[in-house]
Amino acid sequence: MKPEDFVDDTKETVDPYILEDVDWATRAPYEVWVEAVLGVPQERLQEWVQHIAENEWYKDETIQMSMNKFIVATEETDRYQPFVDIANRILELGKVQLSGAGAYPLDDITIVRNDPTYLNRIPEHSGLGAKRKPDLLAVRGRKVQLLEELDDKAFDWSDVLLFIEIKCWNQNLFPNLQAWRSRRGLPQLDRRTLLPVDPPEEVTVVSTEVPLSVPSRTKRTNSSIMLPATTGLHCSFISDYSESGAVDSDDSQAGNPKKLRFHDESVKAVAKFRAGGYALETVACSYGTRLFTTGLVMQDDKTSLWYYDACGVIRTKESLSLFDNFEQIAAILVAFACCEPSQWGSLPPNIVKPPRSSPYPESFPPNNLKGYTLEMTLSEGGNKVHVTLQDPIFTRYSLTGRRTFLYAIKTNSRKLKKPMVAKFSYQVTTRKREQDFIEVAREAGVGHLPEIHMWGDFWKMSEGVRAIFFDRCGPDCDYEDRVFRGIVYSQYFPLRDLFSKSCELIPTMVYQMLDCLHDLRYKAKILHRDISANNVMWEMHGEEVVFKLIDFDFATFVDGDGRPIAITARSKHRTGTLAFMAYELVCEMADRNDPPGKPAIHMLCHEFESLYYLSVYCMIAMPEVEDTVRRKLYRQTVWLWENGLMEQITACKARLWDSLYIERLPMPSQCEPLRTWLLLFSDIIQEARTQLRSHRKKTSEPFDQETMGGVLTRDVIKNTLMGEVGFEFVYLSKNKSSVSPEASGSLNLAMAEEETTLTTKAKKAAPARKAPVKHDAAKGKKAATAKVVTPKKIGAAKASKTKDVTSKAKLAVTSETETMLLTRRGPITRSMTKRF
């Protein structure tokens, strides 16, 4: 889908989790931030500030003229080019004057105006978020030249070295300019002409020749410039930013609003949120090439520095003033220009090695990691294998959290002949490894699992930039460490490649995943906890389509009651994919800032509910239709699942239980034969909610939370959807014993026959049909014909199948007493990939 088909870049279109990440940002002194992120020690930074002050860069003709234009501008866009001119002139001066700067590693780095041009997004993410146009960008000059030759103005997000967000709030900064000039010993200006009122001093052009000696750090006695070594940073009066709700300020700064403060934070909220959106796009649209990214947020003359990685956000405590802290800002801009690729966020080149034909820094930043190499360990024998990354396959749309991305790979192993993919992610160190869960599940006889060939843990986030922050500022109690982890699967294919050709296989996917999730729970005592469109894939077994459940990063072991044995991740850790999460879990996320209540525990019933949402999504978003139809369907249905606030997402999910809504739900014409089947599925989910509401009215009665009173079980769902049985509800007496968990919700028929039944009219599911599917997406493989996998064929496809004892089709409320865990779930990750 084209960018113009989506909403423009506003605060409301920024992912709500980005809003939270920004609000939760850790504060660090600017000197610590510069040392940790940009690699410039505090002593050198102070030396640069001293030199810039003593050599009076502020008197440079270009800087002075651009400063005047910046200040008198009444429109935000009129401030862009003046700041570009200031920044580029500073980079010119710093390259030849500052000791330790020298030739910049990225020798052609430049600051450019980007607005009003939207940046190019990768096809996989074109339907997520919004089209965005950062105000200013730091990029390579060679990319600017290339775009000029192509008569193209749009950069890719992977081109971005640094984004700069400028916001105009106070349109009358002229008094601030006059005060600044007065403190600097410069003549006052006429507001209309910007010419000096008094006879002007001779304006100098600062020399760009290298000084003969390193400048002294002795303070000038005849200058009124205040340096960090002797005074605090000066900021504008906070009363200039007293509009309620618009100021991002520190609660510790209570007091006289007109007092000058060292920690004055005057960045308007919308600016930092939009900058967070730019950070999301930079890391999500670069196919894993960035370990972190940085940004500069400027509200009027106030500037703050921002760092974003998989563990969270770190910003400067201080908001530096372009007037009073000109020397500090100039030194910081030079520090950015002195960065090596690793300080721009590249993956460690000694571990993930660039191709010999494209060495760093000449080839930085890359569009993707194709051709990069690394070493991983075989699952059998423990031998090291040389892995070369090929084309990117998938990248998660997220800023913090796992940030998963996948590549096709080649190896130097003679044993590994199958097509394979490597999955990389930033996983919480306290979680068990994915391969450990899969090994336990495979030994327990669970089917539909991926085949794993090798894996490796490469580095921890606490070993890089974060280590310097911890050393200088002390430990962060909210920090949760992550490890960069890789795992190699056999290559499987995304659902879109299959369902775009034939949606008739959607029920087949559901039946096989029901078996897989059931066996994970009762055979291996594992919950997957991230059922989504990205985590169910497929392959061909002869002429049969077999679906695979991948990505066990969020999996957990459970006890006999289906509850997690241990919770190791803290409240800020994210689990699951928001668009497919169960209603109850999303509701808790929406209310997590309210006083704690009963926590929602992820159980097997939530896995089955997620499978229902996945079915709806596949029917609407994946079949091939005309662009205009696709856009309309997307806007009317699933857009809010992925881009709305959590309250909107919960409302969307609740509507999907309503059979009347499902009857009117817009869907591609080729999915119409499955509407009856989907209505049956929605009835099951609705009945589960009804049982839960009834239980809450009678809290003294026992209730099987895991199966929602026996409604959400593998056998009941399969038999109902396959049309083999009627749809009846049996309410058991509270004095009867409960159904054992090992029965997977299967009914005690003898007990059921003794009870009074309330029968509803059965709905007949759509008949199973054979669907010829051309395997166009199976790269390098011959086209195959895929038949609908019936229950009998599931066994042949190595899917686990237990004896069905619900042939009489009864849905029951069991009498198991509910218990709850004493922990609350944290926010979850919104991350999906699709092509529109």
Q: What CATH number does the domain containing 462 carry?
A: 3.30.200
pLDDT surpasses 90 at 667: no
pLDDT band at 818 (very low <50, low <70, confident <90, very high): very low
Given the structure tokens 């703050």, which residue do they identify?
A: 304
Q: Are residues 663 and 564 in the same domain?
A: yes
Q: Are residues 43 and 161 in the same domain?
A: yes
What is the average per-residue pLDDT within 320-349?
A: 95
Mean pLDDT is lowest, of 344-358, 451-465, 567-581, for: 567-581
pLDDT band at 260 (very low <50, low <70, confident <90, very high): very low
Paired tokens of 481: 């460490």
Q: Is residue 797 part of a domain?
A: yes
Q: Is residue 241 part of a domain?
A: no
Rounded CA gap, 249 and 258, in Å? 14
pLDDT in tens, 198-218: 654 554 445 544 443 333 333
CB contact at 8 A, 623 and 670: yes
Averaging pLDDT over each range in 242-246, 644-648, 808-812, which range is the top one? 644-648
In degrees rounded to 5, what are phi and psi of residue 462?
A: -70, -5
pLDDT of residue 652: 86
pLDDT band at 225 (very low <50, low <70, confident <90, very high): very low
In degrees rounded to 5, what are phi and psi of residue 387?
A: -110, 130
Mean pLDDT is lowest, of 83-97, 517-531, 571-585, for: 571-585
Of the candidates 292, 327, 344, which is a domain's last residue? 344
Query: Omega of the bond prior to 365 within 30 degrees of 0, cis?
Result: yes
Paired tokens of 13: 């279109």
Task: Say if strands 267-268 and 302-309 run parallel, antiparallel, or are unpaired.
Answer: unpaired
Of 831, 833, 789, 807, which Cα lies nearest the Cα of 447?
A: 789
Mean pLDDT is lowest, of 48-57, 374-383, 725-734, for: 725-734
> Mapping DSSP to helix (H, G, I), strand (E, B) and coil, where does residue 714 land?
helix
Mean pLDDT is lowest, of 426-440, 474-488, 649-663, 761-775, for: 761-775
Look at the chain and report how many structural domains it folds into. 3
pLDDT surpasses 80 at 663: yes
pLDDT surpasses 60 at 294: yes
**In percent, how much of the chain has pLDDT > 90?**
49
Q: Is residue 205 part of a domain?
A: no
pLDDT of residue 103: 84
Q: Is residue 715 part of a domain?
A: no
Q: Is residue 585 part of a domain?
A: yes
Q: Are residues 338 and 466 in the same domain?
A: no
Of 609, 612, 614, which Cα lies nearest the Cα of 705?
A: 609
Q: Are residues 480 and 520 in the same domain?
A: no
**In percent, how much of the chain has pLDDT > 70?**
72
Q: Is residue 682 part of a domain?
A: yes
Rounded CA gap, 554 and 575, in Å? 6
pLDDT in tens, 760-788: 333 444 444 444 444 444 444 333 334 44
Look up the CATH number of the domain holding residue 540.
1.10.510.10
Q: Is residue 357 part of a domain?
A: no
Higher pLDDT, 286 or 178: 286
pLDDT of residue 156: 96
Q: What is the DSSP string of 527-545?
A: E-----TTTEEEEEETTEE
What is the average per-residue pLDDT within 255-278?
A: 58
Of the candidates 441, 472, 491, which is a domain's last residue? 491
pLDDT in tens, 610-622: 999 999 999 988 8
Rounded CA gap, 711 and 684, in Å? 7
Supply the range of the domain harboring residue 666. Answer: 493-703+771-801+823-836
Of 817, 829, 827, which Cα lies nearest the Cα of 563?
A: 817
Q: Which residues of 730-763 are buried (b: 16+ CB within 10 A; e: fewer)?
A: bbbeeebebbebebbbbbbeebbeeeeeeeeeee
Q: Are residues 485 and 601 in the same domain?
A: no
Task: Say if strands 312-316 and 26-28 run parallel, antiparallel, or are unpaired.
Answer: parallel
How many CB atoms are closer than 10 A to CB 477?
Answer: 6
Stated as kind and residue range, the H or E segment containing 729 is strand 728-731
Rounded CA gap, 279 and 285, in Å? 10
**Bridge partner list, 483:** 427, 460
pLDDT band at 698 (very low <50, low <70, confident <90, very high): confident
**Bridge partner list, 407:** 392, 422
- pTM for the whole thing? 0.78
Q: Are residues 487 and 532 in the same domain?
A: no
Rounded CA gap, 762 and 688, in Å? 17
Q: Are residues 340 and 420 in the same domain?
A: no
pLDDT of residue 546: 97
Q: Are residues 559 and 437 in the same domain?
A: no
pLDDT surpasses 60 at 522: yes
CB contact at 8 A, 825 and 589: yes
Of 294, 355, 365, which Cα lies nearest the Cα of 142?
A: 365
CB contact at 8 A, 449 and 517: no
Q: Are residues 34 and 120 in the same domain?
A: yes
pLDDT of residue 447: 96
pLDDT band at 377 (very low <50, low <70, confident <90, very high): confident
Q: Is residue 256 part of a domain?
A: no
pLDDT in tens, 424-434: 999 999 889 99
Q: Are residues 499 and 486 in the same domain?
A: no
Paired tokens of 174: 């002229």
Of the candidates 457, 491, 525, which is a domain's last residue? 491
Q: Are residues 508 and 533 in the same domain?
A: yes
Q: Are residues 475 and 542 in the same domain?
A: no
Of 485, 507, 162, 205, which Cα lies nearest the Cα of 338?
A: 162
> Mapping DSSP to helix (H, G, I), strand (E, B) and coil, where does residue 558 land?
strand
